[in-house]
Amino acid sequence: MRVEAGWFFKGGDQGLDASSEHSESANVDILIFFLHLNLATQVQRALNLEEYGTAQQLRNKLTELETEVIKQQDARRGSASKSEAQDIAITILHRRADLQNAIQGENYALAAEIRDEISKLESESLVHSAKAQLYENAQYMFRLGQKVRHKMFEADLIILGYRGVVCGMDPFCCESSSWKEISRVEKLSRGAEQPFYQVLVDVGANPNILVAYVPEEKLLAPDEPDMEMFDHPYISFLFYGMDAAGDFIPIKQLREKYNKPRYEVPSDPQEENGEND
């Protein structure tokens, strides 16, 4: 399969263009992250100035925001699924006791209903447990701050499109059903159950797609370090700067958001290649 460079914002890939991967929900997620950082900074500034009343008001707002952020992250990342699986397990235990009582009372019609209910609950529990395990055991090809190229397919060609920077990730597609339909997620060779990445798009390539939500199969790491300038309004808020390989260094809060360790650039470029083999 041949590789060619190009700007794929129209046509190709069976009628899709890169704009179909624009994600407003991913953009909102990043903006909420910015708001959280800003409030935390304001709280610290007020404390430094000994404005304790103002600091308390800001801290209350920060607590409200953190509660909402945790709720969204739990729902998105599977923590809620883990909790729901545990709740269902408790319900199943209670219903099994009810089943035993119904059998002992020779109420077989009620016992049959309870048995069917338990079967449905067990199926739901498996679904929630599987989703939670996906987040806990997810393996990602790309990392926070890594520069990537968007790729699309046409006939026997791989068309390289815009340059991007990874700023978030999920082990599977967490977008809405309507977004999946527009982006034809079901047509992907690996489907919706592959990692999806929040990607900042170089505004020099397309200023209309600030944040894309891209399946792993449509991203490619550059063969050589990309030291070219990358233009995006969010870069300075999410990253400290570029490392020796041309990738961006995520701020501590972004690493904590995704529970990722600090990445150290290998002293020998061949060392990283050997690890990936």
pLDDT single digits (tens) 115-146? 999 998 888 877 766 666 666 678 999 999 99
pLDDT tens across 165-180, in order?
999 999 999 898 899 9
What is this structure's pTM? 0.71
Confidence of residue 191 (pLDDT cuts 50, 70, 90): very high
The per-residue pLDDT for 65 is: 84
Checking if the pLDDT of 81 tops 60, the result is no
Structure token digits, residue 89 = 């397990």
Checking if the pLDDT of 100 tops 50, the result is yes
The per-residue pLDDT for 83 is: 61
Checking if the pLDDT of 14 tops 50, the result is no
Checking if the pLDDT of 90 tops 70, the result is yes
The per-residue pLDDT for 1 is: 46
DSSP string computed for the chain? -EEEE---SSS-TTT--GGGGB-HHHHHHHHHHHHHHHHHHHHHHHHHTT-HHHHHHHHHHHHHHHHHHHHHHHHHHSHHHHHHHHHHHHHHHHHHHHHHHHHHTT-HHHHHHHHHHHHHHHHHHHHHHHHHHHHHH---SS-TT-EEEEEEEETTEEEEEEEEEEEEEESS--S-HHHHHHTTGGGSTTTTSS-EEEEEEPTTT-TT-SEEEEEGGGEE--SS---S----TTHHHHEEEE-TTS-EEE-HHHHHHTT-PPP---SSHHHHHHHH-
